[in-house]
């Protein structure tokens, strides 16, 4: 097995690239490769010149941007001072994940492929461009490409004599083993977040447990949509931000769902456990306290409300004791079964918990060791910060619409984070929410005289509320806002605030209430009506224009 090394490096924003990378890692193990799967920014890039074989799996996010966990690597890769033959020992391949409805479709994968080539790398195959717009998702092109890749790789590194590819029927070992502590051992208050050391700026690995100060509904009770203005106290956190920045919030599962999950898997929520890695050197999961309770794991860590991926069905099929269920699970994880998987799971947005309910014989046979392989970590949700520190020091406010919609499933779909936040009532006790701040994409003019035109229908107005508060505090008057919603009496949030600013001469406001009259009126109609003003601001005053929503 000496020399059979494969490195899979990924850059993932929503977890899809990571899932694909882990799949490639499993396929490599079945072919007797010693394989590591790591995020690009966690990898020691100095070693790249010595790697013989690397598969890069990179998503493109935002406006042709690299995901957060490869931003450092990306800046390194394009340094002019890197010698052109640096990667001459490297055989590589690139998997791209993107969405062709965006203009910069898979730009990161395309650029990465060319840059590594430029640095002397040897590509094993052309770059494969997974596309969310395909009816069957990125796997539609990745599946056949992977077959070709393994062919190529096994030609370079043929299987050692006497060894076969480990059959897909054989289950691979879990990443961690779960060891229960004795039932009567005292356990920590498992479930409480430890306060961060004051010097560290809060981040994904060290969120700040912010106290919720208020949680007000800003749409009329009779309006179909529940929109909240929520305020958090961030004093003592070390967090600073400017208008346009984004707050990341780590949500948790509902107690009813946690209970149902534990019942289905026959887990005792109160038991304590520790995790041990199966392969020495594998780091333990960062956000899990050790020891930990089952309740904490299922509430804060396991994303049981996410739509399960193909790899979930593949792994689940190994535990099945029921032939009917196993066959169905195998079918849903096969290449031929992807259409059915999309129809059963992705299109109606069926949750992991709902799928487990549908496969009762298999679910009760899932060993706890495999829980972290089966179900991913809950992902944080991003919200534009809707307030300025200059107007509300030590506070973060967000404007949040509760996500709720119907698919063909009888139970309506609910946003995990928005539903959780909406359910919290700061008047009933100390409510804490883990959060941290990320830089936003919008930049505002440094020159105080430059006017700003903002177009923000609905909750898109959130970052502009922050901008306006900041600029008003700085005495800047050139603020023009186009706001649109459905009805003046129902969802015209922040009405009082805007009207006060208009009276004081700080804000020029144009509103479009789409359903207050027979014909639909939207922000673009208002822009057109006021095109002379808009043009004058742009051409003679060099106004900056922003759009969100």
Q: What is the largest CA-CA distance in the chain?
A: 84
Helix (H) or strand (E) run with residue 229 in it: strand 227-233
Q: Are 513 and 521 in contact (CB under 8 A)?
A: yes
| Residue 393 touching other proteins (CB under 8 A) | no
| Residue 175 touching other proteins (CB under 8 A) | no
Among 326, 328, 465, 486, binds other proteins (CB under 8 A): 328
| Residue 110 touching other proteins (CB under 8 A) | yes
| Residue 502 touching other proteins (CB under 8 A) | no
Q: What's the CA angle centered on 41, arms 40 and 47, to 5 degrees?
A: 70
Please list the alpha-helical segments (H only) found in 387-433: 416-423
As given in the structure block, the two tokens for residue 291 are 């020891």
| Residue 337 touching other proteins (CB under 8 A) | no
| Residue 86 touching other proteins (CB under 8 A) | yes
Only segment of 109-117, 277-285, 440-448, 504-512 that touches other proteins (CB under 8 A): 109-117
**Smallest gap from residue 129 Cβ to other proteins (A):** 8
Of 406 and 520, the one with the shorter C-beta distance to other proteins is 406
Mark residues 465-494: x for contact with other proteins by CB under 8 A, - for none. Answer: ------------------------------
| Residue 97 touching other proteins (CB under 8 A) | no
| Residue 140 touching other proteins (CB under 8 A) | yes
Only segment of 24-32, 346-354, 388-396, 455-463 that touches other proteins (CB under 8 A): 346-354
Only segment of 70-78, 249-257, 376-384, 520-528 that touches other proteins (CB under 8 A): 70-78
- How many angstroms separate the first and last alpha carbons of the chain? 54
Only segment of 77-85, 212-220, 373-381, 420-428 that touches other proteins (CB under 8 A): 77-85
Say how many C-beta atoms besides its own lie within 10 A of residue 474's C-beta. Answer: 10
Cα 59 to Cα 94: distance, rounded to the nearest angstrom: 11
- Classify the C-alpha dihedral 65-70-75-79 as positive or negative: negative
Among 42, 63, 75, 321, binds other proteins (CB under 8 A): 75
Distance set, CA 465 to CA 177, 197, 242, 391, 495 (Å) = 48, 31, 12, 11, 11
Give the HSE-up count for residue 194: Cα atoms under 13 Å, Cβ half-sphere: 10
Q: Are 544 and 452 in contact (CB under 8 A)?
A: yes
Q: Are strands 91-98 and 53-59 parallel, antiparallel or unpaired?
A: parallel
- Classify the C-alpha dihedral 382-384-386-390 as positive or negative: positive
Among 180, 273, 344, 444, binds other proteins (CB under 8 A): 344
Q: Are strands 227-233 and 395-401 parallel, antiparallel or unpaired?
A: antiparallel
Only segment of 195-203, 238-246, 352-360, 467-475 that touches other proteins (CB under 8 A): 352-360
Among 85, 263, 278, 423, binds other proteins (CB under 8 A): 85
Nearest alpha-carbon partner for 189 in 337, 46, 296, 283:
296
Among 14, 42, 45, 165, binds other proteins (CB under 8 A): 45
Of 159 and 324, the one with the shorter C-beta distance to other proteins is 324
Cα 58 to Cα 10: distance, rounded to the nearest angstrom: 6
Among 14, 42, 63, 100, binds other proteins (CB under 8 A): 100
Report the interface residues with other proteins, using CB under 8 A.
44-46, 48-50, 52, 72, 75-76, 78-86, 88-89, 100, 105, 107, 110-111, 114-115, 118, 120, 129, 131, 133-136, 140, 324, 328, 332, 339, 342-344, 348, 350, 354-355, 357-360, 408-410
């Amino acid at each position: 097995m000496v020399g059979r090394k494969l490195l899979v490096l990924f850059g993932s924003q929503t977890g899809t690239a990571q899932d694909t990378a882990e799949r490639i890692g499993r396929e490599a193990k079945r072919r007797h490769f010693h394989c590591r799967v790591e995020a690009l920014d966690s990898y020691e890039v100095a070693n790249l010149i010595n790697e013989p074989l690397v598969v890069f799996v990179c998503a493109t996010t935002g406006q042709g941007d690299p995901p957060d966990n490869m931003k450092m690597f990306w800046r390194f890769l394009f340094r002019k001072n890197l010698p052109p033959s640096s990667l001459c020992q490297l055989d590589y391949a690139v998997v791209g994940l993107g969405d062709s409805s965006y203009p910069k479709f898979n730009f990161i994968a395309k650029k990465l492929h060319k840059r590594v080539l430029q640095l002397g790398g040897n590509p094993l195959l052309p770059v494969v461009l997974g596309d969310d717009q395909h009816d069957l998702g990125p796997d539609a092109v990745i599946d056949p490409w992977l077959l070709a890749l393994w062919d190529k790789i096994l030609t370079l590194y043929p299987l050692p004599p006497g060894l076969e590819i480990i059959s897909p029927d054989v289950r691979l070992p879990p990443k961690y083993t779960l060891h229960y502590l004795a039932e009567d051992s005292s356990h920590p208050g498992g479930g409480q977040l430890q306060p961060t050391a004051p010097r560290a700026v809060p981040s994904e690995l060290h969120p700040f447990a912010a106290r919720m100060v208020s949680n007000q509904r800003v749409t009329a009770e009779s309006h179909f949509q529940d929109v909240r203005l929520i305020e958090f106290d961030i004093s003592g956190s070390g967090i600073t931000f400017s208008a346009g920045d984004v707050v990341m919030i780590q949500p948790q599962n509902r107690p009813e769902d946690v209970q149902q999950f534990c019942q289905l898997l026959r887990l005792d929520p109160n038991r304590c456990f520790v995790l041990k890695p199966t392969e020495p050197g594998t780091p333990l999961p960062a956000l899990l306290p050790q020891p930990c309770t089952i309740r904490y794991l299922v509430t804060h860590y396991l994303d049981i409300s996410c739509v399960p991926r193909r790899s979930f069905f593949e792994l689940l099929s190994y535990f099945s004791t029921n032939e009917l269920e196993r066959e169905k699970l195998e079918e849903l994880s096969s290449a031929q079964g992807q259409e059915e998987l999309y129809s059963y799971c992705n299109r109606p947005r069926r949750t992991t918990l709902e799928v487990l309910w549908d496969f009762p014989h298999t679910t009760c046979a899932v060993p706890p060791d495999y829980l972290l392989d089966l179900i991913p970590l809950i992902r944080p949700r991003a919200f534009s910060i809707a307030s300025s520190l200059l107007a509300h020091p030590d506070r973060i406010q967000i404007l949040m619409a509760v996500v709720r919609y119907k698919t063909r499933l009888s139970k309506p779909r609910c946003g995990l984070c928005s539903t959780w936040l909406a359910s919290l009532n700061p008047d009933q006790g100390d409510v804490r929410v883990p959060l941290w701040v990320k830089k936003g994409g919008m930049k505002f003019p440094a020159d105080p005289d430059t006017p700003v035109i903002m177009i923000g229908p609905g909750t898109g107005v959130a970052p502009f509320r922050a901008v306006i508060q900041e600029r008003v505090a700085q005495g800047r008057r050139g603020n023009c806002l186009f706001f649109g919603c459905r009805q003046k009496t129902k969802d015209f949030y922040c009405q009082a605030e805007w009207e006060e600013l208009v009276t004081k001469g700080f804000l020029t406001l144009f509103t479009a209430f789409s359903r207050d009259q027979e014909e639909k009126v939207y922000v673009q109609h208002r822009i057109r009506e006021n095109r002379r003003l808009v043009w004058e601001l742009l051409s003679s005053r060099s106004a900056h224009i922003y759009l969100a929503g």
